[in-house]
Structure 1
Amino acid sequence: MEEVAQSTKTIFVLAGQSNMSGRGGVIKDSHNNQKLWDRVVPLECQPHPNILRLSAKLKWEPASEQIHADIDTKKACGVGPGMSFANAVRERITGVVGLVPCAVGGTAIKEWARGEELYENMVKRAKESVKDGGEIKGLLWFQGESDTSTQIEADAYQGNMEKLIENVREDLGLPSLPIIQVAIASGLDDNYMEKVREAQLNINLPNVVCVDAKGLDLKEDHLHLTTESQVKLGNMLADAYLKHFAASQ
């Protein structure tokens, strides 16, 4: 483990809300009606010695599914896009893929503003991730479902997201940090979902690309991606990183 930890790390910050932290395979327990993970790990999401995660205690450790379990602690975590992303990327880079999970379910973008706990924790974790070597090569962002409740929130989304990108780049000292955001596939209010999607698809900043989740299968709650969809999304995120950013880094 020490050898792995000291080798070259290509680090990715994972942030946003529940579809980033992962609800794939989360089901209701028939005995007590509590939600729990079915523990089904797709082939694309299997652990690998060259994939690490930064724990809630800021320690690097081998990554395996439920990578957000000690970060998004109020609800059951399952399969998200992180592990399939890491497995798809690791074959094309040298050294180790380091994942920094920061996503928390049910959070609106205003809760990710500079000075707010979620934002400051993300920046703290990102800075900690490079202390023993490695470089942050991207922020993967999947959030927005909680901003579809009202027209005011939806109308403000683009400005808030652009400010978040500006702030995180400044606070990490990475003015060209690649941002790969996901255009949402669901929302709390369908009336404003398209408004948020439009904002996400129209952000026109350098080194920002958007992967569209629309069309991926949702669970019965019509809000969260299925396990299969999370695997596909992770591969889509990896394709976007490798196409737009890997060669230039």
Structure 2
Amino acid sequence: MLNSFLLIGQSNMAGRGQIGDVEPIDNNEIYMFRDGEWATAKEPLHTDPLGLAGIGLGMSFADALQKKYHKPIGLIPCAVGGSSLSQWQKGETLYVNALEQASQALKSSNLKGILWHQGETDSDQLASAQTYRNRFLVFIDSLQEDLGISKTPIILGELGEFLQQYEECTYYETINDVLKEITNTHSLFSFVPSTGLTHKGDFLHFDSCSLREFGSRFAHVWEIASQRLGVSLD
């Protein structure tokens, strides 16, 4: 059975890094779930109607774990650029799709983690930033119940420091504070810092090199969380 990970959130999880800016990761033990079946993973992992998806953090995350543990890794890419937290609530299209994809993938894999990076869209208004915590926990509770999981590590990525220069993300620090607080008070959650990572020139999206590093950080944090929660790769 594959060890699978669900990738959800918005564009920085889907990946907007420029293809060609970094060396491709060629690892035949990394798979992606697409069109109802597992295939050897290659970037971009995500698809979108505008063709914007590029380098993301998923491949370097999977590569780090696969090379350390010598176990096959499966990625379930369901992130959608520009999505708000409200669009991820139970019953909404993005939730339904992620649940459907994950449920299909779990027929031939064991879910070992959920990777989340989202919040830029919700950082444009104070009200959405201040209510993020409760809305996020409701979303996760629903997802856990529907997937039948209770001890799966949930890894949360910090929004980029460079958002301070992006005028539409005024309250990004509020979102980051919420993410940190959740990981400090809920044992299933862990926080991945984005310290020192850089944008691709738009003050919004991580560049390819930073996404490679971010994925490695996600892997390191997952390792710590898995040891704490008693989760191991099969």
Residues 137-176 of structure 1 correspond to what in structure 2 (within 5 A)?
137-176=112-151
CA contact (8 A) 1:41 1:65 kept: no
Report the Cα offset of residue 110 of structure 1. Answer: 0.5
Instruction: Show the counterpart of 2:83.
Output: 107
Say which of 91, 104, 111 aligns to 1:128: 104
CA contact (8 A) 2:21 2:209 kept: no
Unaligned residue ranges in structure 1 (runs of 5+): 1-7, 26-38
Partner of 1:177: 152
Q: What is the DSSP-based 3-state SS (H/G/I as helix, E as strand, rest coil) of the residue aligned with 2:143?
A: helix
User: Is the 1:145–1:188 Cα contact (8 Å) retained in structure 2?
Assistant: no
For the 8 Å contact 1:184–1:214, the answer to whether it is kept is no
Larger radius of gyration: 1
Aligned-partner Cα distance in 2 for 1:188–1:171? 37
Worse-matched range after superposition: 85-94 or 13-22: 85-94
> By how many angstroms is 1:214 displaced?
3.8
- Assess if the C-alpha contact under 8 Å between 1:176 and 1:206 holds in 2: no
1:129-153 CA distance string (max 9 Å, x none): 1213x20000000000000111111
Q: TM-score, with normalisation over the residues of structure 2? A: 0.91
**Contact 2:120–2:169 (CA under 8 A) maintained in structure 1:** no
1:191, distance to aligned residue in structure 2 (A): 2.7
**TM-score, normalised to structure 1's length?**
0.85
Residue-pair matches, total: 224
1:193 to 162, 172, 193: 172
Amino acid at match of 1:181: L
Instruction: Tell me if 1:93 matches 2:74.
Output: no
CA RMSD of aligned residues (A): 1.6
**Percent of paired sites with the same residue:** 32
Counterpart in 2 of 1:10?
Answer: 3
TM-superposition CA deviations, 1:39-61 (whole Å, max 9, x none): 31634x51211000001x11110
Aligned to 1:50: 29
- Alignment-mate amino acid for residue 123 of structure 1: L
3-state secondary structure, aligned to 1:223: coil
Check the 8 A contact 1:180/1:240 in 2, yes or no.
yes
5+ residue gaps, structure 2, are: none
* C-alpha contact 1:178 1:208 (8 A) present in aligned 2: yes
